[in-house]
Amino acid sequence: MRCDILVAGRCERSDLADNPDLRALIIPWAGLPVSMRELLADFPDLPVHNLHHNAAPAAEIALSLMMAVMKNIVPVDRAFRRHDWRPRYNEEERLLLFEGRTAVVLGYGAIGKRVARACDALGMKVQAIRRRPGDGADHYATYHGVGDLRALLPFADVLFVTLPLTPETEGMLGRVELALLPDRATIVNIARGPIVDQRALFDELTSGRIRAGLDVWYNYPTDEPSRASTDPADLPFHELDNVVMTPHLGGNSDRTEALRIAELADSLNAAATGQTIPNRVDLSRGY
């Protein structure tokens, strides 16, 4: 097989070695699987590009989780299905107002920027942590470097985790970092589970001090039959009422495949016309 552009979610060494004229590899989603990163180490001159077509649905899941957690939607719905009106009169469990609160967005890429824009529209103050702080701000957020993370956490009424999983980001949010969050803070993870230390997160949630909306996990089904009965974590997050759980639905929508095809077409058209293919991956960083 000979081609100029290879579009592949998974590929073998032969797919790359047998195509000496290969100009670029396009991985049709955001991120770089570990196995792919290891394989590409032997092809350092091959440009690799992602598609960010799932930015809109992933950002929407992040916002949906924030709203469900801060408005206590799941426990209230569960009670009201029993015709229990008491949550309406519970002075100790008031619903949390978004306006005036601070959102910290950890990872200010295609998804993080959409989250910031929505939070700004809700009247929240947005602080964004990104690899390159750049000019310091845009219309929706003030920029900070990764080194400012611990200084910002005590102000994070909502912490959105929207950065890729790499050797540098794995375990980035551990016991020390989570303890810095203010009481009643909400952590929303739609990136990858292992960015947040599992035991530290479970212990903080068990204490009742913080809440969480989690779309990404530590264990995943390995085949189709196991999809019906795989524990998403090694610890019983499902027993906690202050957690809203979804099974990695971040990229799921009725238009996801149409968005993927449209963005892939844009990338292929750019290659065909000699323009720069967007979303090049820095292999040294993994995104």
Residue range 45-64: mean pLDDT, rounded: 95
- At a CB cut-off of 8 Å and minimum separation 6, what does 179 contact? 204
239-285, pLDDT tens digit by residue? 999 999 999 999 999 999 999 999 999 999 999 999 999 999 988 88
Question: What is the distance between the alpha carbons of residues 91 and 87, in angstroms, rounded to a whole number?
Answer: 9
112-168, pLDDT tens digit by residue? 999 999 999 999 999 999 988 877 889 999 999 999 999 999 999 999 999 999 889
Say if residue 286's pLDDT is above 50.
yes
pLDDT for residue 71: 97
- At a CB cut-off of 8 Å and minimum separation 6, what does 21 contact? 2, 3, 4
Residue range 8-24: mean pLDDT, rounded: 82
Say if residue 9's pLDDT is above 80.
no
pLDDT for residue 3: 56
pLDDT for residue 1: 39
**Is 13 in contact with 39 (CB distance < 8 Å)?**
yes
Q: Which fold has domain 55-245?
A: Rossmann fold (3.40.50)
Residue range 223-247: mean pLDDT, rounded: 97
Higher-pLDDT residue of 125 and 3 is: 125
60-110, pLDDT tens digit by residue? 999 999 999 999 999 999 999 999 999 999 988 899 999 999 999 999 999
- At a CB cut-off of 8 Å and minimum separation 6, what does 26 contact? 5, 6, 7, 8, 48, 49, 50, 51, 264, 267, 268, 277
Higher-pLDDT residue of 12 and 24 is: 24
pLDDT for residue 2: 46
Q: Which has the closest alpha carbon to 161: 105, 204, 214, 116?
A: 105
pLDDT for residue 163: 94
Sequence spans of domains, the chain: 5-53+254-272, 55-245
